[in-house]
Structure 1
Amino acid sequence: MEVTLITGASSGIGEALSNKLAEKKHNLLLVARNADKLQKQCNQLSKTYGIHAQYIVADLSKPNAANEVFDESKKRNLLVTLLVNNAGIGSSGEFIKNHLQSELDMIYLNNASLVALCHLYLPEMIKNQKGSIINVASLAAFVPSPYMAAYAASKAFVRSFTQALTEECKPYGIAVMLFNPGFTTTNFMNTPANNNEWGQTLVKGAYTQTSEQVAFEMVEALEKKKTFHVSGRGNRFTTKMAALIPNAIIAKVFANQKRKEMNL
């Protein structure tokens, strides 16, 4: 059975995307950590849209989780024709005060597991001459961001890796897209690493979209066969302006502004 695999599928952008794609009759393989939520989600999607929805419970911040997802999908005889690497977490605050293992887990989830899943599923896509990949980065991928240093750097990695992979896959007819949402009203900021005074300051006044708006743009970009998309008109304007200013200046101004807001 052909399926669309979505990581980070049980909430936020991933959950909204699963609904959009189920509506378009994609059979789904959802990956996240919350088994109860995934089970209810798959039952509802199958009932509402008449598609096959199943799930794999996995924590992609842990080594070998990507391999376990791949092996389980093979046991079920599933052919992944669309891979959406959506799972990601962030962190806010002074880097030296952040919990080291949390920072490393974030990098593993945002980068290592994304790379692993691409590497595991691409050979079969190439063999069958059929398949697409969407790697979800962030507006933070475009500039160094003080007080979310490791997160922004992890998304810059996703940006660079995906744009290079896009070109490598073109001769094989495999479409790869870099998708960049900005601040989205999800539970992303409601984690111990983000739900703090720094996190609230960092997103204050940010241009915001809902998960449904982001998912709509992602599906639209996929159908238009785009290789690059920034979600939200305001975010697209921001990236264009940022490209005109040296990164060092952006980082300096951003840091000074946030320190002022924090009364430091």
Structure 2
Amino acid sequence: MRELAAQIRERHGGPDAEVVVGDLATPDGPDRVVRELRDRGLTVDLLINNAGAGSAGPFLDRPLEPQLRSVGLNVSGLLALTHAIGGELVARGSGGIINVSSTAAFQPLPYQASYAATKAFVLSFTEALAEELRGTGVHVMAAHPGAIATGFFDGTTATIDPRAADTPDAVAARTLDDYARRRAASYPGRSVNRAMTWAARVLPRAVVARLAGGFNRRLRLHEVVDVA
């Protein structure tokens, strides 16, 4: 992270880039981050809740602890940071919050069951919070990327087809552009991402779950195991 901060300073002519280390999946992790920000006198203008993790494979066959940790990170950590920093934004009457959800938020996702459930929470929470903060000067937006070429499945036999994945840079740029346009939601990446979310809204839920499960079986996610 410190190397990345140095690259940002060099690439963009010396803007401040602070590194604050914290484990948002732990109960006290978000509080530690907020305390560190205050101790350094740093003011947050835009909170981007991007940290996330997920488990792939049959729910009952996969270890429970990583899935509970994913819930802590994707849900509890996001809630805690939003609550602490969101209050400061409202008090100033400006700024914004971007909660990174996923196209997985719109349908049950067999073989990624707990991950999709956390993203459904993020979707519902963000839409509700956006309405609560309407008129305060604080813009709240959810971002729903599809597959991204990252190390999301590292440590398992699951893989991401790079031909079907967007780059992190492209997703970040589109998300920030949509935020600047004050959009309620962002669907960064290829256009099929948004089309998939609409299909999930119009088809019966049982049908959507069957289709999503079939898709993930073709990706062999029902056979995922950990690797050293």
TM over 0.5: yes
Determine the C-alpha separation between the residues in 2 that align with 1:240 and 1:207. 19
- Hey, what does 1:244 align to over in structure 2? 202
- Hey, what does 1:72 align to over in structure 2? 36
SS in 1 for 2:41: coil
Matches within 5 A, 1:1-264: 38-49=1-12, 50-190=14-154, 192=155, 195-196=156-157, 199-200=158-159, 203=160, 207-232=164-189, 233-256=191-214, 258-259=216-217, 262=220
Query: Would the aligned equivalents of 1:43 and 1:53 in 2 still touch at CA under 8 Å?
Result: yes
Query: Would the aligned equivalents of 2:108 and 2:212 in 1 still touch at CA under 8 Å?
Result: no
- Hey, what does 2:226 align to over in structure 1? none
Query: Would the aligned equivalents of 1:207 and 1:235 in 2 still touch at CA under 8 Å?
Result: no
Cα offset for 1:209? 0.9
Query: Would the aligned equivalents of 2:175 and 2:187 in 1 still touch at CA under 8 Å?
Result: no
Sequence identity (%) = 35
Q: TM-score, normalised by structure 2?
A: 0.90
Q: Figure out how many residues of one structure are paired with residues of the other and give that number.
A: 220
Counterpart AA for 1:227: A
The alignment's C-alpha RMSD in Å is 1.9
Determine the C-alpha separation between the residues in 2 that align with 1:78 and 1:238. 39
Give structure 1 stretches of 5+ with no counterpart.
Answer: 1-37
Cα offset for 1:185? 0.6
- Hey, what does 1:21 align to over in structure 2? none
Determine the C-alpha separation between the residues in 1 that align with 2:184 and 2:57. 32
Query: Would the aligned equivalents of 1:140 and 1:155 in 2 still touch at CA under 8 Å?
Result: yes
Counterpart AA for 2:90: I
Q: TM-score, normalised by structure 1?
A: 0.79
Give structure 2 stretches of 5+ with no counterpart.
Answer: 224-228
